[in-house]
Structure 1
């Protein structure tokens, strides 16, 4: 009975050791950002502006080994999106492009001119994140209270 318990403990220890060893040399990265609606289209954050939940963002990254990875993310209830990946250190992200795809808010669907996309180098060590500037949508017509 004791020999059987020792075998089970040894097997459990080997599983944990295998998982630990497989994580050595792994790299984890994260890209995050936000999407808002600039209701008055004045490029100034005001009380009338709001976050956009459910807005779609695409993130395209090229790795150090030359592989192209395409991610799709949607903003949460706080207007934030996150893309994260764990991979071998040799395949980590080298450069990325984040760009807004669409807003599902019926009154705020037009991208502000400078919100077409953001290119950046990703040179963070494992476990760190890169925050992309906020993407801004505006209504097709400005409400009367903004004028």
Structure 2
């Protein structure tokens, strides 16, 4: 009987090799919101809204081994950006910096005070997420109803 190398045999062999090494994986997640402070009053009120799909955020993380990882995320329909990564436990994030890059909203394009970036240590166990405080943009000129 002649041996025939098949895709199924290849997949089974790869699975066996991976399972025999039992690599410990780690998953981390970082997320936050980006908000338009319509009146520019530094408080979130009924006139304010999230920037749906129109804001960009950068997340820079350093791993336990010293590697620097740079992520770019855009807000979704709920104004939330999200960065997630799965890697070996020995390579997990150690510290991160999240910072707003830009707003593509037609009115809300000026970065609010205190929204330059957030630096934090990442000590959470695998499968948990870190929530970053909201980043705030505001219009160049507040609407008349705000005054």
TM-score normalised by structure 2 residue count:
0.87
CA distance in 1, matches of 2:28, 2:130: 8
Bigger mean CA deviation after superposition, 38-47 or 91-100: 38-47
Structure 1: segments with no counterpart, 5+ residues: 1-8
Please provide the CA RMSD for this pair: 2.2
Q: Which runs of 4+ in 1 moved over 4 A?
A: 9-23
- Give the equivalent residue in structure 1 for 2:91: 91
Residue 52 of structure 1 deviates from its aligned partner by: 0.3
Structure 2: segments with no counterpart, 5+ residues: 1-7
- Give the equivalent residue in structure 1 for 2:111: 111
Judged with a 3 Å threshold, the aligned counterparts in structure 2 of structure 1 residues 124 and 23 are, in CA distance, closer, same or farther, namely: farther
Residue 24 of structure 1 deviates from its aligned partner by: 3.3
Find out whether 1:52 has 2:16 as its counterpart. no
Residue 23 of structure 1 deviates from its aligned partner by: 6.2
CA distance in 1, matches of 2:22, 2:29: 17
More strand by share: 2
More helix by share: 1
TM-score normalised by structure 1 residue count:
0.87
Match of 2:90, SS state, is: helix
Describe the superposition over 1:18-51 as per-residue Cα deviations: whole angstroms up to 9, x where unpaired.
4555663111100000100000111222111111
Describe the superposition over 1:90-136 as per-residue Cα deviations: whole angstroms up to 9, x where unpaired.
11100000000000001000111200000000001111110000000
- Give the equivalent residue in structure 2 for 1:40: 39
Judged with a 3 Å threshold, the aligned counterparts in structure 2 of structure 1 residues 102 and 146 are, in CA distance, closer, same or farther, namely: same
Matches within 5 A, 1:14-33: 16-20=15-19, 24-33=23-32
